Chains A and B, each alone.
Chain A
């Protein structure tokens, strides 16, 4: 009998402790969830603000241009204005297309066409495609790619990842710089590196630059792009069950690293 009482006496505080612990745990989880929700809401709001900003700027220019042209009678002036209008529209279209692709990739609505891709070949092709443009900007684009790398993935998506990374390099690495594209197998993973000897990315910006509309220059006046390229890189890498990050390169600048599993598209996501 005494033993039973002893057990009860011991169990009651243990049970109470467990209940307290569980409640506290639940509270902590709730708090975490709340913080995440707040962060998501903030990011959505920030994105919305940025979209509004990024579309309002060209709209303002468009409006001013059209109004100025309408005050004139000269056909040549009209023509020049219309050509600028077309350029602005193209820029806005690019932003909208990139946002749509991002939304689709992040919501899991992108169908992945799984096929064996000759990754070594694709990387060489990308170098061949971009090398002349790099040279024109007095940049050297080189490759250090392991032979016979293959991956189960979507060729177009892989090419878009690489193309966005190279677009980014050509935009931001100063003339005279070196860009190195390399790829190697690491266990059951593949690592693709795009690195340079440019100014690099400050540590506190390394995660931020993958966010929509992020630019190192906060004034956002540089008309070099909408700041969506790296967001696309990360979103597409995740669609392929991989990820993208940035680190310091042994070349002295930034190293953009895309890690993919060799059977990247094995788990293809169903369309919603």
Chain B
């Protein structure tokens, strides 16, 4: 079982986050201030840290910097109530791997945690050149996509979108994650731009084939997988 450490001084928020993550199959440890958090991160063998920026005794970014300087490499997800453009940059610069602004949706946080854990696991292998899910194949070098042996013609952005979904197959991906990783925009437009791109991609990879692979997760985002 994956072990997570949450360093968050809002006791109620930390408890509900712990409950949610435990329901999703993780073992969760809590720390409520920067000093305890630092100690627990040093002592425990965690797969991932969730760190709030504003913490009593030692702030989250300083704490993370200490851990990184000591050579500790667990992926870190930064939580911040601030949400300025430069906060995100500062968070990542301090050694964070991803950044979520409060108040966040639990599903958004969960999706990002899963993406970070998967990235950490796949880093051990070499770079992939072919991605495959069921009969859907992506040749990253030749930039070619086939389903059931039939070639599928994708626009460059559709290709990037599918590549991101394939790399996170079996895992919920939110609209915000797609905007950040496929388009590199760190804000959410008011228009449903991502949904429309997804529905076009779905037309191409799912419409004349079975089973459907690209599913909508209501209120959250999308998932690419075999089961409905």
- A residues with a Cβ closer than 8 A to B are 83, 86, 93-94, 97, 100, 104, 109-111, 113, 125, 128-130, 132-133, 136, 154, 156-157, 159-160, 163-164, 166-167, 170-171, 225, 229
Contacts and interface: CB of A to CB of B under 8 A. Distances in A.
Contacts of A159: 185, 187
Given A83-B219, A133-B192, A133-B196, A110 B187 contact: no
B83 A100 contact: yes
Contact of A166 (B83, B103, B187, B191): B191
Interface in B152-208: 157, 183, 185-187, 189-193, 196-197, 200
B219 A86 contact: yes
Given A109-B84, A125-B183, A156-B85, 15 more contacts: A83-B219, A93-B103, A97-B83, A130-B191, A132-B196, A132-B197, A157-B85, A159-B187, A160-B187, A163-B187, A163-B189, A164-B190, A166-B191, A167-B189, A229-B190
Place the interface of chain B in its size category.
20 to 34
| Pairs A-B, 4 closest by C-beta atoms | A167-B190, A132-B196, A111-B86, A163-B189
Interface of B: 83-86, 89, 103, 157, 183, 185-187, 189-193, 196-197, 200, 219
A234 B196 CA distance: 28
A68 to B, nearest CB: 21
A130 B84 CA distance: 25
* Secondary structure of the B contact surface, majority rule: loop
Contacts of A133: 191-193, 196
Given A83-B219, A111-B86, A229-B190, A156 B185 contact: yes
Given A104-B84, A113-B89, A156 B183 contact: no
Given A111-B85, A111-B86, A225 B190 contact: yes
Given A125-B183, A159-B187, A163-B187, A130 B86 contact: no
B178 to A, nearest CB: 11
5 contacts: A83-B219, A86-B219, A110-B84, A111-B84, A129-B189
B73 to A, nearest CB: 27
Contacts of A164: 190
